[in-house]
Structure 1
Amino acid sequence: MVDIFIENMKITEESNQSEYNEICNNLYQFNVNATNELLSKPGKDINLYLRDESGKAIGGLFCETWLYGLYLDVFWIDENYRHKGYGILMLTEAERQGKKLGCTFAHTCTFSYQSLDFYVNAGYEIFGINDEYPDGIKQYFLKKKFK
């Protein structure tokens, strides 16, 4: 564990969940105030699950909405169920729900070893690339304006 002392203060890795939550909530509240409450709009999460016949979750798409944007945060489907059209159905449904809430665009990021082609084929446009990772790995930032 690292502890760095500066005057009467200490920088440490020591933590607990309530302090973590408090700091995150304080940042969120600062951002809501700084954006005249736009950050909190529409402010509803969209979480979709792909379930097999037994009810087991074999995929999920977890999204947040803020500043009238739909952020695709986590999107994963079990390898045995990929390339069967489930992903585009889930993405289309998340976009539909986002539009219904008032979102005017969607955005996400993906790595070069993940699903860049999937997003591009779904109408997403690359607006940034981070190519500082080792072994030629790139991170792509994508967006899609809703019509």
Structure 2
Amino acid sequence: MSVTITHAARPTDAQREAILAPLRAYNLREGGNPGLVPVALLLTDADRTEHGGLWGKISYDWLFIELLAVPDSLRGQGHGEALMHKAEAIARDHGCAGIWLDTYAFQARGFYEKLGYTVFGTLDDHPRGQSRFFLQKRL
């Protein structure tokens, strides 16, 4: 089979799936079933309006926290810590070995370290002059 490389300036969901499908098949064959479980915890007011929260997924016995967002108006009230504790409880209920996430130098590294997370990797100059940190917490 002869192929060429093309750049999709505006990639579609179908193109993403074309890339993901062989990777998913390989991972399943080599690593077994990842046991994928989506995790979404929302900060919801009395009117059922959602104001941030936590988004992640359990895969291969670890919870990856992709997003944690607490709006400025709700910061300093313990919501971030409560979201993290709830995520940890969910991870424990699913028998996870741990939780991992990433954050930038200008974001919340200290917040996560206060909760027991430790840095296991650093990507310098991302963005330039800053760093991105990868943190984990074993359960």
**What TM-score results when the alignment is normalised by the length of structure 1?**
0.84
Question: Is residue 102 from structure 1 mapped to residue 98 from structure 2 by the alignment?
Answer: no
**Partner secondary structure for residue 31 of structure 1:** helix
Say which one has the larger Rg.
Answer: 1
Residue in structure 1 matched with residue 18 of structure 2 by the alignment: 22
- Which SS does the other structure have where 2:6 is aligned? strand
The answer to whether residue 116 in structure 2 is matched with residue 140 in structure 1 is no
Unaligned runs of 5+ in 1: 1-6
Change (3 A) 1:134 1:77: closer
Residues 32-79 of structure 1: CA deviation (Å, up to 9, x unaligned): 211133xx12x1111100012222111110111111001001111111
> Aligned pairs, how many?
137
Indicate yes or no: 2:24 matched with 1:31: no
RMSD of aligned Cα (Å):
1.7
Q: For residues 66-120 of structure 1, give each alpha carbon's deviation from its aligned partner in whole angstroms, at most 9, with x where no partner exists.
A: 1100100111111110111011111111110111111010000000111111100
2:7 to 6, 12, 29: 12
Structure 2 residue ranges without an equivalent (≥5): none
Give the letter aligned to residue 31 of structure 2: T
- Give me the whole-angstrom Cα distance separating, in 1, the residues matched to 2:134 and 2:78: 23
Residue 61 of structure 1 pairs with residue 57 of structure 2: no
Identity of aligned residues (%): 23
